[in-house]
Chains A and B, each alone.
Chain A
Amino acid sequence: MNRDRLLRLSDRWFRLLIRCYPPDFRDDMGQAVVEAYRDRARAAVSRGGLVLLAGVWIRALLDATRNGIGEWFSPAASWRRAGNWRRDAEFATRRLLRAPASAAAIVATLTVGLGMFAIVYTVFHKVLVEPMPHEDPEDLYFVWRDYGKIFDLKRGWLGGPDVAELRTAGGVIEGVAPLARQQATFAVGEGAEAAEIAVMVTSPNLFELLGVPPAMGRGFAPNEAGPGRPPLIVLTHGLWNRYGADPSIVGRDVRLNGEAYTVIGVMPKEFRFMRHSSLGSPRGADAYTTVTVNLVEEDPGGGSYAGLIRARPGRPPRTVAAAVDAVGRALDARHFNNQGLKLYPTGMKEDLIAGIRPAIVVIGFAGLFLLLILMVNLATVLLARAAQREHEFAVSRALGASGATVFRATLFEGALLGLLGGAAGALWAVWGTRTLVALAPVDLPRRDTIALDWPLGLTVVGTGMLLGLLAAVVPAVWATRSSLSSLLASSAVRGGGGHGRMRRGMVVVQVALSLVLLTAGGLVVRSFERLLRADPGFRPEGLVTIRVPLPPQGFPENKDVFAAQDRIHQALSAIPGVRAVSAVDALPLTAGARQADITIPGAPGLTGDAQKDAPLVDVIAAHAGYVETMGMRLVAGRTFHTRPPEGVYEGLIDRQLAARFFPSGNPLGAEIPLGQNRVTVVGVVEQARMYGVHEDGRPQLYIRADQWVRRRPAFVLRADRHAQAIMPDVRAALRRVDSRLALGEVVTMEEIARQALSQERVSAVMIAGFALGALVLAAMGVYGVIAGSVTRRRHELAVRLALGANHPRVLRLVLAEGARLVALGMLIGVPGVYFAGGLLQGVLVGIAPTDPVTLAGVAVGLGAVAMLACYAPARRVLRIEPAQALRES
């Protein structure tokens, strides 16, 4: 073997060994190392030949292994691997600062988008994900009665005997607590001003069941319930705070409905508990006392308690349901002649959020879509920026910068922008969630916990960064591929080639996503608009309401209640500007009416089916003039006279009841047994809707409040003056009637109606916001692509102009390109629209998910905006002077 061949072989060996070193060291030193080995090999060959050379090879192997690995772990130039990020950071920051306007625009877009995401995510997390603030909340269930064939109520409260039976059942059921929520007047001491509060009447074990002991004092002892129980009360932190947060409150007496109660405990600040109701929203309470009755002895037919049970730890819901069902069957046999009464449990959290879940899921999806659109948008922008630097990339690649460097620089830019946007978005969301909570329904589950906290904020920032990184992947890959040769090849159509196609693809995706989001937005907004225009059966404008409890302590006899009501009526009527005054025990849209199952013996509409013939109705006690004051519509007969007639109990029924019992005949004069008496129908009215503005609830029966005692009347006033102006006069007038009266809040009926729609309002506002955001982003995307296209095709368009095409024709050419993209995007978006429709099913009111007007409107709107976004940059075509353009290129 000759010397030269040996040395060439050596070189190959050394080059192979060099691979042990990290690439950056290799780039810098590799050649020199090989050369040094070569010198050494040459010396070895010339001194001793093959044996020495072999020694050099082996030594080189050992050397490369040791130092190669060493260099990976402690690099000579450590800044290069760690510090490259720093240089990238400096580089990316400098590049962003060089074009502050465009950087600000990107960050602003991300801020708004990520801010919206942060808000949605916060609500989502707090309402749906975060566990309830109770011990092992997944073992807590509400238990409901399903009356089966007895009457049409699938979700009724439990009777006292039900609770007693569940208590003795044992097995998987570890504990039971009955919950009855009552309004009561509360005062810290005798003579102090009384206020109305909500009291949860329950069993002593409630706090143990929830696993939350009082923060101060103690809870109830097992023997502190039932007949003759001591009057003890546990306050919530909120109520305690409202009355001055007296640290020595435990052991002191307060007044509840005029009676002395001893405060034995105050619950912790974090304690939140709500009792669900069969209809209407979950509600909390301000204080807790125990039941005064013996539950077993209560009427088994009546339903008065929400039942809360705790199952033994970790038992599957199926087992719990079986246990509860067994109790139900025993009760059915004992008290209901096996007519089919059932008991069933529902997971506590599931039950509390059931009403709001569909809306939150829809909003969550909308947020996700917005995030996707945002990501595609950012990717488009980054791609455009990368394309501007195509030359720089290609040259640095040609000069030996590795693909990884270019890749990393682009990723870094994306991540940095995402990070900035995420941080700003999180800040924005701190304010945004506050606004949202202000807009949200008072009864939105766990409303008071909805706030952006640190973990959530960090998640949002992380999401922003991830979004930036993901968005940067496509442009980064593209940039890595750009080489000098491809740049030279495509320099005739500058900036053309691959990235243009990619950008157009992204715009198509953006249009598709936007179409879905806009459709959802359009549908939800139109549904909300229907709700706003819905006729609730009365005129809320100009109505002021105030609840005035008349407890037995101040008004022992029925005649005292009636007399007080008369005095209040007169006092309110005397306020200047008041045109009409009346009162009712359950205001519309508050789901506050009592229920009873009634029938009309001998009515022509009877079917013989017991369930149909004895419907559950809302029994509403109204004063004379209620129909007129509320602006309800009288369909037949008359309303109540001012004075109650002797010996006759008057009643009004709604159109539903009239239609059911008297499909063709005249219901006037019919008699309805109610309690010990018979109510004579004197008129038929349209419902003043009790539950939702858009549809009738249960059938309604109105009785006279001056014939049936109701101790918590809500007075309603219709006045010429503005509601806000009249409120102080109302309170003053009532104080003059009786200074001991515990007054509720003065609330306008419009406020009540607004509250009833607040969930829908929040959904509509948020989804509309998302949809608008999507529209703007899509328009920006289209604009960018067409602007880029016009720049790129300048030469080609100039040639066309030079060859005789006129400007409008060329303009059409460019617009057609945009139109193709938009049309394609809309086409791709259609399945998404169907998907969104399915999701929206449970949220929309009075409008189908496939509502043609909305779909067409959204398509036309999106198309118009997109074409406008095309037209703006396309107009530049008109300014092309063929001769000059051709000279330039």
Chain B
Amino acid sequence: MGMDRPRRPLETTTPLRGVEFHILLSLAAGERHGYGIIQDIQARGETSVPDVGTMYRALARMVESGLIEAADRRPAPDAGDERRHYYRITRAGLAVAKAEARRLEALTRAARLSGLLPKGAK
């Protein structure tokens, strides 16, 4: 399975959906399981945390397009040591995440220049 899976070209992956960028953000820091990613999103102070279904559809999509890949199934300390599916970011995923971050940074800078954000605030 997965050998002849078509890969989405990089340029068509950005801009990412919010949930996808969140996933990449989480995985950039290390392998996570699904609920772990949701917890990360909550921790980032996002007001609307994605539903489980939304997130797993995103995960499936991103596995298909090669941005992330399934790591092994192993006991999760935060889930009472039950076994969970872990995911990790791929090199392509990392590249996409960086590109998206740069895009967002440029947008933020533009927002600041046009007075939408206070200048000087970090």
| Cα(A28)–Cα(B34), bound, Å | 14
Chain A positions within 8 Å of B6 at CB level: 79, 83
Mask, B77-88, CB within 8 Å of A = 1, is: 011101011000
Question: Are the C-beta atoms of B53 and A68 separated by less than 8 Å?
Answer: yes
Q: Name the distance in Å between A12's Cβ and chain B's nearest Cβ.
A: 16
Q: A252 contacts the other chain (Cβ, under 8 Å)?
A: no
Question: Are the C-beta atoms of B82 and A35 separated by less than 8 Å?
Answer: yes
Question: Are the C-beta atoms of A67 and B64 separated by less than 8 Å?
Answer: no
Question: Are the C-beta atoms of B35 and A40 separated by less than 8 Å?
Answer: yes
Mask, B50-67, CB within 8 Å of A = 1, is: 011111111111001000
Residue of A nearest to B35 (CB): A39
Chain B positions within 8 Å of A36 at CB level: 33-35, 38, 52, 55-56
> Can you add 13 more A-B contacts, CB < 8 Å, to A33-B53, A63-B53, A76-B60?
A25-B57, A29-B56, A29-B60, A33-B52, A36-B33, A36-B55, A36-B56, A42-B79, A60-B52, A63-B51, A66-B53, A67-B57, A71-B53
- Asked if A35 meets B57 with Cβ closer than 8 Å, knowing A77-B64, A79-B64, the reply is no
| Cα(A25)–Cα(B61), bound, Å | 10
Q: B4 contacts the other chain (Cβ, under 8 Å)?
A: yes
Mask, A50-84, CB within 8 Å of B = 1, is: 00000000011011101110110000110100010
Residue of B nearest to A67 (CB): B53
Q: Which of A's residues lie within 8 Å of B, judged by CB? A: 21, 25, 28-29, 31-33, 35-40, 42, 59-60, 62-64, 66-68, 70-71, 76-77, 79, 83, 87, 90
Question: Are the C-beta atoms of A76 and B34 separated by less than 8 Å?
Answer: no
Residue in A28, A31, A67 whose CB lies within 8 Å of B51: A67
Residue in A40, A59, A60, A77 whose CB lies within 8 Å of B60: A77
Question: Are the C-beta atoms of A59 and B51 separated by less than 8 Å?
Answer: yes
Q: B44 contacts the other chain (Cβ, under 8 Å)?
A: no
Q: Which are the 6 A-B pairs with shortest beta-carbon distances?
A: A67-B53, A76-B60, A39-B35, A63-B51, A76-B61, A36-B34
Q: B122 contacts the other chain (Cβ, under 8 Å)?
A: no
Mask, B31-56, CB within 8 Å of A = 1, is: 00111001000000000000111111
Chain A positions within 8 Å of B51 at CB level: 59, 62-63, 66-67
Q: Name the distance in Å between B8's Cβ and chain A's nearest Cβ.
A: 10
Q: B5 contacts the other chain (Cβ, under 8 Å)?
A: yes
Q: Name the distance in Å between A8's Cβ and chain B's nearest Cβ.
A: 13
Question: Are the C-beta atoms of A70 and B57 separated by less than 8 Å?
Answer: yes
- Greatest chain B CB density within 10 A among A28, A83, A90 is at A28
| Cα(A687)–Cα(B34), bound, Å | 99
| Cα(A36)–Cα(B78), bound, Å | 12
- Asked if A40 meets B52 with Cβ closer than 8 Å, knowing A35-B85, A87-B4, the reply is yes
Residue of A nearest to B36 (CB): A39
Residue in B52, B54, B64, B84 whose CB lies within 8 Å of A37: B52
Interface of A is mostly: helix
Q: Name the distance in Å between A549's Cβ and chain B's nearest Cβ.
A: 77
A-B contact count (CB 8 A): 76
Question: Are the C-beta atoms of B56 and A35 separated by less than 8 Å?
Answer: no
| Cα(A66)–Cα(B53), bound, Å | 9
Chain B positions within 8 Å of A66 at CB level: 51, 53
Question: Are the C-beta atoms of B85 and A31 separated by less than 8 Å?
Answer: yes
26 pairs, CB–CB < 8 Å, chain A vs chain B: A25-B57, A28-B60, A31-B85, A32-B33, A32-B84, A32-B85, A33-B52, A33-B53, A35-B85, A36-B35, A36-B38, A36-B52, A36-B56, A37-B52, A39-B78, A40-B35, A40-B38, A42-B80, A59-B51, A63-B53, A67-B53, A76-B57, A77-B61, A77-B64, A83-B6, A87-B4
Residue of A nearest to B58 (CB): A76
Chain A positions within 8 Å of B58 at CB level: 76
Which residues in window 1-38 of B have CB below 8 A to A? Answer: 4-6, 33-35, 38
| Cα(A42)–Cα(B5), bound, Å | 36
Question: Are the C-beta atoms of B54 and A63 separated by less than 8 Å?
Answer: yes
Chain A positions within 8 Å of B80 at CB level: 42
Question: Are the C-beta atoms of B52 and A29 separated by less than 8 Å?
Answer: no
Chain A positions within 8 Å of B57 at CB level: 25, 29, 67, 70-71, 76
Residue in B34, B52, B79, B82 whose CB lies within 8 Å of A63: B52
| Cα(A29)–Cα(B85), bound, Å | 9
| Cα(A21)–Cα(B58), bound, Å | 14
Chain A positions within 8 Å of B61 at CB level: 76-77
Residue of B nearest to A77 (CB): B64
Q: Name the distance in Å between B97's Cβ and chain A's nearest Cβ.
A: 19
Chain B positions within 8 Å of A62 at CB level: 51
Q: Name the distance in Å between B51's Cβ and chain A's nearest Cβ.
A: 4
| Cα(A32)–Cα(B84), bound, Å | 7
| Cα(A774)–Cα(B52), bound, Å | 61
Question: Are the C-beta atoms of B64 and A39 separated by less than 8 Å?
Answer: no
Residue of B nearest to A71 (CB): B57
Q: Name the distance in Å between A401's Cβ and chain B's nearest Cβ.
A: 10
Question: Are the C-beta atoms of A76 and B52 separated by less than 8 Å?
Answer: no
Residue in A32, A67, A70, A83 whose CB lies within 8 Å of B34: A32
Chain A positions within 8 Å of B84 at CB level: 32, 35
- Greatest chain B CB density within 10 A among A25, A36, A40 is at A36
Residue of A nearest to B55 (CB): A36
Chain A positions within 8 Å of B54 at CB level: 63, 67
Question: Are the C-beta atoms of B5 and A33 separated by less than 8 Å?
Answer: no
| Cα(A575)–Cα(B91), bound, Å | 98
Chain A positions within 8 Å of B52 at CB level: 33, 36-37, 40, 60, 63
Q: Name the distance in Å between B58's Cβ and chain A's nearest Cβ.
A: 8
Chain B positions within 8 Å of A77 at CB level: 60-61, 64
Chain B positions within 8 Å of A90 at CB level: 4
Question: Are the C-beta atoms of B64 and A76 separated by less than 8 Å?
Answer: yes
